[in-house]
Structure 1
Amino acid sequence: MIVNERQTQEGLLVAVCDEEVLGETFEEGELSLTVTEEFYGGDAVEEGAVIESLAQADVANIVGTRAVELAVEEGFIDEANVLEVGTTLHAQLLRMQ
């Protein structure tokens, strides 16, 4: 998986995607999701590093079946909040402080 971390006014933003979805566009009805290098590009990491990043995130965007499934398995995302966009999954996390 690929992780990109950056500080924003809202806190730590973490973007995670499966490697194979980087650069792809997914569509579902009127919804279109493009997994850009600019936003999602970062370091290829193991699952443990993804979990560590999500644990620190104030905001997270997660794309890709494996990445979203990992976030659900680890309790970061409720499965009811996962979107199917074309052939992939997408979820967002916002921690209220």
Structure 2
Amino acid sequence: MYVKTYKTEKHFMVAACDKELIGQTLKNEKCEIKVNASFYQGEETTEDVLEDLLMRATTANLIGQKAVACAVRCGIVDPNTAIYFDEIPHALYFTL
């Protein structure tokens, strides 16, 4: 998986995706999503590191079986709320 973090004064965002999805355009019946390297491809990481980052995140943008499953295990994403593009899950997480 790849993970890239973004920090502002008030927020810590984690963008993560399964490695093989970089550069792909995925579609569903309503729209499409481009898995841009400029947004998602930071450092290659392990599930343990991603879990730690997700537990500190105020926002997360996740795409791929591994990335979304990691967020589900952390308890920050309900698997029933994922949106699917070409059978690949995409999930967003926000704290208010």
Q: TM-score range by the shorter chain?
A: over 0.9
Q: Structure 1: where are the runs of 5+ without partners?
A: none
**Within the alignment, does 1:46 sit opposite 2:50 as a pair?**
no
Deviation, 1:9, is 5.8
* Letter of the 1:17 counterpart: C
**Within the alignment, does 1:68 sit opposite 2:71 as a pair?**
no
| Aligned length, in residue pairs | 96
4+ residue segments displaced more than 3 Å: none
* Letter of the 2:8 counterpart: T
- Show the 5 A alignment for 1:52-91: 52-91=52-91
The equivalent of 1:30 in structure 2 is 30
What's the Cα RMSD here? 1.2
User: CA 1:6–1:24 in structure 2 vs 1: closer, same or farther (change >3 Å)?
Assistant: same
* Letter of the 2:67 counterpart: A
Give the SS at the match of 1:26: strand
Contact 1:10 1:59 in 2 (8 A): no
Task: State the identity as a percent.
Answer: 29
Q: Structure 2: where are the runs of 5+ without partners?
A: none
> 1:51-75, CA deviations, whole angstroms, 9 ceiling, x for partnerless residues?
0111111110000011111211221
Give the SS at the match of 1:51: helix
Query: Normalising to structure 1: TM-score of the pair?
Result: 0.92
Q: Which moved further from structure 2: 73-82 or 50-59?
A: 73-82
